[in-house]
Each structure stands twice: as C-alpha cells, then as structure tokens.
Amino acid sequence: MEITSRTEGNKVTMEISGWLDTQTAPKLEEELSHLDDSVTSLVFDFAKLEYISSAGLRQVISAYKKMAGKDGFKIIHVSDEVLDVFRLTGFDQKIQIEK
C-alpha cells in the first residue's frame, strides 16, 4: 500500500493505493495520527485501492470519527469491489462515498 497526501489549506487528501489490510492498516493509522488539529476536511481517494479488509475499515472509521464535528470526511473514486464492502457493512449509510 502507498499513501500520498496533499494538503490544501485545512483540507487533506490521501490517495491510497494497493491493499488496505491487516499488514498495511498500521501505516494508515500512523498517517492519521500525524494529522494536525487544524485539518477540518479529510478526503480518501481510493482510485487505486484494490482491496480493503476489516482492519482497513477500522482505520476508515477512525478517520471518520476524527473528522466528526468538523467540515467533513468523504471517500472518492471507489471501485465497485471496495464499494461492495462498504455496502455490506452499512458504512455507506454513514460515510459520504462518491464513485
């Protein structure tokens, strides 16, 4: 998995590629822990994400909670396969997801 972060003012976009699973979720957790408190909007770009496991979902939910009460959190460019996982778990009802 690779993570590329871009910051524009108070908005951070993280492009996540590869597999977000038990092996790679700690890397995302570390990236999220380094987010400054001034960040009010977080976007995950999943255009190149091939797979997400329950460990990856935990980090997504963690990011969602971290942005609660701020300007927002959303996921963009989600593949059908990854979107299916969000639908099965019901997370698509809580998190803003754009194909």
Would you kindly state where each structural domain of the chain is located, as residue ranges? 2-98
Neighbours of 6 (CB within 10 A): 11
Measured in whole angstroms, the distance separating CA 5 from the mean position of its chain's CA atoms is 11
pLDDT band at 69; cut points 50, 70, 90: confident
Give residue 96's pLDDT: 94
Tens digit of each residue's pLDDT (9 = 90 or more) over 32-44: 999 988 999 999 9
pLDDT band at 50; cut points 50, 70, 90: very high
Confidence check: pLDDT of 24 > 90 = yes
What CATH code would you report for 2-98? 3.30.750.24
**93: Cβ–Cβ under 8 A, 6 or more apart, which residues?**
none
